[in-house]
Structure 1
Amino acid sequence: MSMNIDSKLNNENSFWDISLRGELDVSTADKLKEHLHNLADEKILDMKINLENLDYIDSTGLGAMIGVLKKLKTDNKEIYIINPKSNVKKIFTITGLDKIFKVEG
């Protein structure tokens, strides 16, 4: 399965608005990692990642997000996880990452 990433800079509120669609796993994690790091290199801002169309996430996908979060945290920025499906939200809860990321919805 593949994953699509849409992102845009929200200048009004100063954050990256990112939407993921498909499956975030070992075959797509590097794509996400590269994309998020490029955004952070362009401008260090909070990232709001909308997961309402993400069907699946595994540990490599979580790892990609953790790596970018560490980079953002050096400038006191956060990653907000928005609208995760119940199966995806469950992974954040089971791993305790719902305490590290700001999970909403």
Structure 2
Amino acid sequence: MNISVKIQEEANKIKVDIQGEIDAFTAPKLRERIFPLTDKEGVEMIINLSNVSYLDSTGLGVFVGVFKNLRSNNGGLQIIGLSSRLMRLFKMTGLANIINISGQSEGEVNESTF
């Protein structure tokens, strides 16, 4: 199982493009790459999951941790590019009610804030 994480930073705006599967094996690697970016004050992070084929509870845990840390540092999180399957997972767990998520495809995403 593989995961690829591409990070673009511009001031306090960070875009993370993830490709592959996020599971018990890859979630720690993902956390290691993106969690340190959430420590700065006022970071606005966009995570693109349009190329993620699988996500389990350990992956959801990474996003919850990122969300909490960003929020405690007066930042924000938006997760974009969710497939209908991933969108269902976020809704079933209630995370869709607390994290800003979008099922738009990458070509339709409004990144004017980035």
* TM-score normalised according to structure 1 size: 0.89
Aligned residue for 1:93, secondary structure, equals: helix
Partner of 2:26: 28
Q: Distance in 2 between matches of 1:77 and 1:99?
A: 17
Match of 2:20, as an amino acid?
A: G
Indicate which of 38, 41, 47 corresponds to 1:40.
38
Matched, 1:5 2:21: no
After TM superposition, the runs of 4+ consecutive aligned structure 1 residues lying more than 2 A away are none
Aligned residue for 2:25, secondary structure, equals: coil
Partner of 2:95: 97
Identity %: 36
* TM-score normalised according to structure 2 size: 0.83
RMSD: 1.3
Matched, 1:87 2:85: yes
Instruction: Provide structure 1 residue ranges, at least 5 long, that are not aligned to the other structure.
Output: none
Question: In the comparison of the two structures, how many residue pairs are matched?
Answer: 102
Q: Distance in 2 between matches of 1:89 and 1:76?
A: 25
State the Cα distance separating 1:70 from its structure 2 match.
1.0
Instruction: Provide structure 2 residue ranges, at least 5 long, that are not aligned to the other structure.
Output: 105-114
Q: Distance in 1 between matches of 2:99 and 2:90?
A: 9
| CA displacement 1:49-105 (0-9 Å, x = unmatched) | 001101111000000111121111112222101111111111101111011110022
